[in-house]
């Protein structure tokens, strides 16, 4: 990578010539997709801060997500999945259904707050599955049975308009009474 | 042991990537890469990182920096040592 050039390279004056700086990398930054694919491909989990509102109220802007490497064949309807869309952006949305089989298998995802699904995603663009969410010191395991049931219900209702879903009193009550979820959703 | 003769090697649990113009180190701790706590290296930092293979001594790394960059020997010696101490403190390298 570093081939001698023969000419001395100029350095910025002031401060240490070699620096190490700690920072966060935003999930909507250029490097995030490349890094996350690399890390999940090594079989390691990824912890990052979510941006956006498409999964509101379960995932809010600024929540911290823990994502495990995903085996696409093991994904279930309602799971929260990290995938790369056609624009090259990394997205966490809910798995709604599988389409096709074997080599032609693709997945349909949708943001809980969005009116329509994303474009179909091939297996090769699926990288991780959300295992937990953190907000204000509260951590919720989204793979526990109650959360899986909630995810499945949301996936089933996904063809409906989200504004209509939010107006359904029994669903609202179910969400707010679920242990831990009520505290998390606030 | 003379500091100049010490050797360090990179911790394989730190992933190094060059993304656009940025040199990034991602620590993986307990099998989790925390994107809230990555590190960026400047050009000289990345140059030194590349040399930390467990074979080169600190004095050899200083000489390599001096061959490549326009800075005084004393500054290079001081800053290379300080930089390696920082890497050691965050667990990015280990002394052989």
What are A5-55's pLDDT values in tens digits?
Answer: 556 666 665 678 999 999 999 898 878 999 999 999 999 999 999 999 999
The residues of A whose Cβ lies within 8 A of any Cβ of B are: 1-2, 4-5, 8-11, 16-25, 27, 30-32, 34-36, 38-39, 42-49, 64, 66
Enumerate residues 28 to 67 of chain B having a beta carbon within 8 A of any beta carbon in chain A.
28, 31-48, 50, 65, 67
B88–chain A Cβ distance below 8 A for any pair: no
Q: What is the pTM of this model?
A: 0.84
Residue with tokens 């935003």: A26
Which residue in B51, B59, B65 sits closest to B93, CA to CA? Answer: B51
Tokens representing A103 are: 């080599």
Across the range B4-25, mean pLDDT stands at: 92
B87–chain A Cβ distance below 8 A for any pair: yes
- Name which residue leads in pLDDT, A28 or B84: B84
Which residue in A132, A34, A176, A143 sits closest to B16, CA to CA? Answer: A34
Contacts of A38 in chain B (CB under 8 A): 15, 17
Contacts of A45 in chain B (CB under 8 A): 31-33
Q: Is A175 left (phi over 0), alpha (psi -120 to 50) or beta?
A: alpha
B69–chain A Cβ distance below 8 A for any pair: yes
Q: Answer yes or no: is pLDDT of A88 > 70.
A: yes
A62 contacts: CB under 8 Å, gap ≥ 6: A49, A50, A51, A135
Q: Answer yes or no: is pLDDT of A2 > 90.
A: no
Say if residues A2 and A9 touch (Cβ distance below 8 Å): no
Tokens representing A24 are: 């966060």
Using CB atoms within 10 Å of the CB of residue A182, give its burial: 0 to 12 exposed, 13 to 18 middle, 19+ buried: exposed
B82–chain A Cβ distance below 8 A for any pair: yes
Which residue in A149, A150, A143 sits closest to A172, CA to CA? Answer: A150
B85–chain A Cβ distance below 8 A for any pair: no
% of chain A residues with pLDDT over 70: 78
pLDDT at A69 (0 to 100): 98
Backbone angles phi, psi at A16, to 5 degrees: -70, 140
A13 contacts: CB under 8 Å, gap ≥ 6: none
pLDDT at A164 (0 to 100): 62
The interaxial angle of helices B58-68 and B43-51, nearest 10 deg, is 140
Dihedral Cα B75, B81, B84, B90, nearest 10 deg: -100
Which residue in A43, A67, A38 sits closest to A132, CA to CA? Answer: A67
pLDDT at A4 (0 to 100): 47
pLDDT tens column, B21-68: 889 999 999 999 999 999 999 999 999 999 999 999 999 999 999 999
Tokens representing B46 are: 């990345």
pLDDT at A66 (0 to 100): 98
The DSSP bridge partners found for residue A92 are A82
Minimum CA–CA partner of A14 in chain B? B75
ipTM of this complex prediction, to 2 decimal places: 0.88
Q: Is A57 helix (H, G, I), strand (E, B) or coil?
A: coil
CA distance A157 to chain B (A): 33
Q: Is B95 left (phi over 0), alpha (psi -120 to 50) or beta?
A: beta
């Amino acid at each position: 990578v570093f081939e001698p050039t023969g000419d001395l390279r100029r350095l910025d004056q002031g401060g240490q010539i070699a620096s190490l700086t700690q920072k966060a990398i935003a999930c909507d930054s250029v490097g995030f997709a490349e890094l996350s694919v690399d890390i999940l491909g090594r079989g390691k989990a990824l912890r990052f801060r979510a941006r956006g509102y498409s999964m509101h109220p379960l995932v809010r802007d600024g929540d911290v997500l823990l994502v495990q490497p995903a085996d696409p064949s093991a994904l279930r309807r309602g799971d929260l999945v990290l995938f790369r869309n056609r624009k090259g952006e990394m997205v966490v949305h809910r798995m709604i259904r599988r389409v096709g089989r074997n080599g032609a298998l693709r997945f349909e995802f949708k943001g809980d707050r969005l009116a329509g699904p994303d474009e179909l995603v091939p297996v090769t663009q699926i990288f991780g599955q959300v295992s937990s969410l953190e907000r204000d010191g509260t951590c919720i395991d989204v793979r526990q049975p109650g959360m899986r049931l909630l995810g499945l219900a949301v996936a089933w209702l996904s063809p409906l308009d989200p504004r209509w879903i939010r107006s359904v009193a029994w669903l609202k009550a179910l969400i707010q009474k679920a242990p831990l979820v009520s505290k998390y959703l606030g | 042991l003379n500091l100049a003769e010490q050797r360090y090697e990179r911790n394989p649990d730190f992933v190094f990537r060059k993304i656009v113009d940025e040199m990034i180190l991602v620590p993986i701790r307990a099998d989790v890469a925390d994107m809230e706590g990555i590190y960026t290296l400047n050009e000289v930092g990345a140059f030194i990182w590349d040399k930390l293979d467990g074979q080169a001594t600190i004095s050899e790394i200083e000489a390599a920096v001096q061959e490549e960059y326009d800075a005084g020997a004393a500054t290079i010696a001081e800053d290379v040592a300080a930089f390696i101490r920082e890497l050691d403190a965050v667990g990015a390298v280990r002394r052989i």
